[in-house]
Structure 1
Amino acid sequence: MSHAFWWKLLIGIITLAGALTANATNTPTAPTHNQTVLPTDKSPQQVIIKIPQQEFSSSGHTNYVITLLRLALARSKSPNEEIVLQSIPETFTQARLIAELQRGLSVDVIWTMTSKEREDAMQPIRVPLLKGLLGKRVFLIRAGQQDVFSRITSLQQLAQLTAGQGAHWPDTDILRANGLRVHTSIQYELLFSMLRGGRFDYFPRGVNEAWIELEAHKDEGLAVEETLMLSYPAPMYFFVQHGNAALAQRLEQGLELMIQDGSFDALFESHPSLMHFLKRANMKNRRVFKLANPGLPEETPLQEARYWLGD
């Protein structure tokens, strides 16, 4: 055979080999058991934030806070991130949630009323989620007991009755520091049956909580008291584990951006679990007893009017 024939055959073999090599390079292979597949630049990076389960009774309140959390995280995320909120499977008491957050194991962020002890235990993001609404307290009482409360005109008279509260809630210390008697329970849901059974006389609840909880316990013979209200500074914050600066910064940045562009107030004023019940509380026609909150940390931004509900 001629020299030209062999030369053409050699070129053909080289070309075929190059094509096979290119296909092998461009075709992804299945990962082995120990192999990690890294995302491409265009693949979204999933960021999972573990949050608490909540009692059904506070579902309206929880819906607002989770919506706010989602929006704040969306404002502070990078373009290539996907934020996923993942509820933990267990329902914990507040004390257990705080312990879990301190350990940094099952939950990444919680929301609760602040206190000196809680800010020592966890990192607060000092933007009041409810604009102080949680400190406007109306009472759940037994149906048929309204006359008892209608006759009360002073804090000293109210102190003759007994309130019910959670054993680990900051509110318990606030009420006691102001001379009020308090009966406690570790279990939130147990407080409703204890009220019904006469273990205490009234159950102070935030105006954003009382009617939702009444609906959740509509067959237990309870009512919302119509004439009285307690008022004390009680900011609810997002909390993260001490040292989790990245998540704390995300939350603070996102919340501040929402305040600046008006979307924080827009959500607060439109969410059905808040303003509807604020109007229903008829605060201007109630006798209001203002209480001191000795457990309030010095860093509380009380002078920042943009954070708080106006009078």
Structure 2
Amino acid sequence: MRGAGMSLHLIGTVALVALVVLTGLGIEQIRAWVPSSFLLLILLVAAFLLGLAGTAVVCLVIVLELAYLQLVVGAELDPGVLIVHGLALVAVLLFVRSRERLGLSGAAGGIMLVDLRDRLEAHGRIPPLPAGWRVDSALRSAYAEAFSGDFVVAARADGGRLLEIGLVDVSGKGQAAGVRSLLLSGAFGGLLGAMPSEQFLASANAYLIGQDWDEGFATAVHVAVDLRSGEYWVATAGHPPAVHLHAGSGIFEVVDTVGGPVLGVVDDPTFTMHNGVMLPGDALMLYTDGMVETPGSDLELGIDRLIGVAERVVATRRGGAEAVLAGVKAGESDDRALVLIYRD
């Protein structure tokens, strides 16, 4: 299969090089019908179909073609045209190089990213729940990019009696954080439900330290809910605290967890779990710091603002996670995620 892929790249490179040569002949003979901008179209095709080596070959041939037309044929291309071609060559090479560093090559790379993004979303799907329980979630990436550094993992454990949900915020934002999210969501999704809930954050921390990334830390909140009794256990790792809506009193309680350190920084940290009970009508709210943090403002003020929106939306049952996210009106410069666990 690898040999076949290399053969296709070789065929594509040879075909595009031949097209560059034919374009040069066209510019030389019938310039009115074959403009030099046609070379830019060939360059875009090369960036889409070829890897770095093939694209570099096509770029080199284009440079030689332009030099031949200008110096030998005397086509007298405008300086602005030559500058645009030069900038396009550099931009395409940098783009293909960055894509290949991620292990993505040619058109298949884009398909792979789409597949990985779909897998990330699949890890966050909530498993079917018994009557009386439901979960609602919303996620927005910074600047509406395709990938987010925030992700959700969920599983049923202990014979289906226990619902476990982890909300994770990977350091950074955009595509760089999204790539790490793709890796961590698979690993954390495998850990979730496969071990006692009190060991989840410690195991996630050990896994992240083992990756030895330059920028490899993450914050997380993990909750386990007994779907029979309503009892829950929640622990955080450098993450904003969960919020418990008590339907009977209408009070929003900030769950007072003794937060552990962020994941991926300290060996063998301690994560303390808080215990509580969800009664019928209650809700538990998990969120990432993008929902409550604004530059120059206190984190507690952001949490108060989020609770104020939840009082108008969740407590009155006028909407769910999407409505809360929209109501907070947090900035677009950070990833944002919100999870609501309801006991009806």
Higher relative contact order by CA 8 Å / sep ≥ 6: 1 or 2?
1
TM-score tier after normalising by the smaller chain length: under 0.3
Higher helix share: 2
What's the TM-score, normalizing by structure 1?
0.27
TM-score, normalising length: structure 2: 0.26
Larger Rg, first or second structure (1 or 2) = 1
